[in-house]
Amino acid sequence: MADADYETQVREAYPELDRIDSDDLRERVVEAWALGLDRGGWQDIADIPYAWNIHDITNVEHVRGVTKIALESANIQRDFHDADPDIDVVVAACLLHDVGKCYEYVDHVDAELLAGTDRERYATEEIPHSLSGYALAHEVGVPITVQRAIPHFLGEVPERTLEAELVKSANSASSNAITQSAMGISLKEWVDEYSQTS
């Protein structure tokens, strides 16, 4: 089981956890992050970069941005279109959509940011972070409604629920803003140029 300090880091990094009504789901989100941080060998959750080649923006900033965008979109869907997205699912999936970067990005940061663990067992670029994040969520018992909204690239999940679409579109909006701000290019241009990962 992951170090309790990781749980503290996760709670402090993501105040949006308070938007999850279910105590059980909230704790499972924290557990998934703590497990990923421990297995990836991270010292601090804030050390995980947004992307393997964009280190000025942290993954925490991106995940929080995605969550805020998705919540605003969910409110608009509810107010203007009488849709009823499940907010617990939206927030949990947004907070978990990039937890897999705990595994994927260890080779792209300075070694002093990593603790001495057996991260070689878990950390790899071979499995995209959206899929390893799904696996982490599954392992800690996150409900299937949240699990299926975590993979955020087309073709990765069989059913695109309203909540999954909110996560995917919020991720794209946040990512486009970050690549534009950091590199002066769109997300599509970034993916086309640096197709190593996303």
Scan for tokens 């279109």, then name that residue. Answer: 81
Does a structural domain hold residue 87? yes
pLDDT of 158: 56
Taking CA atoms, 121 is separated from 106, 110, 118, 176, 194, in Å, by 12, 19, 6, 32, 26
Buried b (16+ CB within 10 A) or exposed e, 104-137: bbbebeeeeebeebebeebbeeebbbbbbbbbbb
> Could you read off the pLDDT of 150-177 as tens digits, one per residue?
886 655 555 778 999 999 999 999 999 9
Question: Which ranges constitute the DSSP H helices of the chain?
Answer: 4-13, 23-40, 59-81, 87-96, 101-104, 129-139, 144-147, 162-183, 187-193
Predicted TM-score of the model (pTM): 0.89
Rounded to 10 deg, the angle between the 4-13 and 23-40 helix axes is: 120
Domain containing residue 76:
4-191
In angstroms, the CA 149 to CA 118 distance is 29
Does a structural domain hold residue 34? yes
Does a structural domain hold residue 70? yes
Average pLDDT of the segment spanning 116-124: 58
Does a structural domain hold residue 35? yes
Q: Count how many domains the chain has.
A: 1
Does a structural domain hold residue 165? yes
Higher pLDDT, 118 or 22: 22
> Could you read off the pLDDT of 88-104 as tens digits, one per residue?
999 999 999 999 998 88
Does a structural domain hold residue 127? yes
**pLDDT for residue 198 is more than 50:** no
CB 151 within 8 A of CB 157: yes
Does a structural domain hold residue 163? yes
Does a structural domain hold residue 196? no
CATH code of 55's domain: 1.10.3210
